[in-house]
Amino acid sequence: MATTIDWGRLRTPYAADGYERILAYAAALLLAVVLVAIARGQADWGRVPMLVWAHLATIVVALALTPVMLLGRRGDRRHRRLGTIWVVAMVLTAALSFGIRQTNHGGFSLIHLLSAFTLVQVPLLWHAARTHRVDRHRRGVRAMVTGALLIAGVFTFPFGRMLGHWLFG
């Protein structure tokens, strides 16, 4: 007896849903705002520590890859390679943040809790993908993009922080 394959059902887990499209567009918008802020802060570039530049570079990579990963084809070699780069960028972003403590009088702030969480969660996301636990991977990526990229990214602009100063100042 021949087996009938429902191709629409098979593609569904790999297609971006509405929430993922919103996340992708929000990441692209945040990337654009970050790049505008950096460009507007050109007069201060020489006073920015290399650690902060490294942190910005890794977050720009993660933000740039997020829409590509969320809107593109999933599960193929390209997705896995870009996903590995995204994982490395996220881990480096979180790790580098522990050296950036100017906004809290040299101490750690609440954002560093998110960095610690990211250092644990991102490797777990990668492992879930590598072991083909697609649902766990997908839920985790959505949560990580929402919290560690977008919500944390928005909070880089208020409260007299560098990017906010550059963008609005």
pLDDT in tens, 98-129: 988 665 566 666 777 889 999 999 999 999 99
* Location of structure tokens 């960095």: 115
The whole model's pTM is what?
0.87
Tokens of 168: 């609005």
Residue 108: predicted pLDDT: 67
Nearest Cα neighbor of 149 from 57, 6, 30 is 30
- Is it the case that residue 10 has pLDDT exceeding 90? no
- pLDDT digits 0-9 by tens, 22-80: 999 999 999 999 999 999 999 999 999 999 999 999 999 999 999 999 999 998 999 99
Question: Helix 77-97 crosses helix 110-130 at what angle (to 10 degrees)?
Answer: 160
Q: Domain residues of the chain, as ranges?
A: 18-168
Cβ atoms of 40 and 166 closer than 8 Å: yes
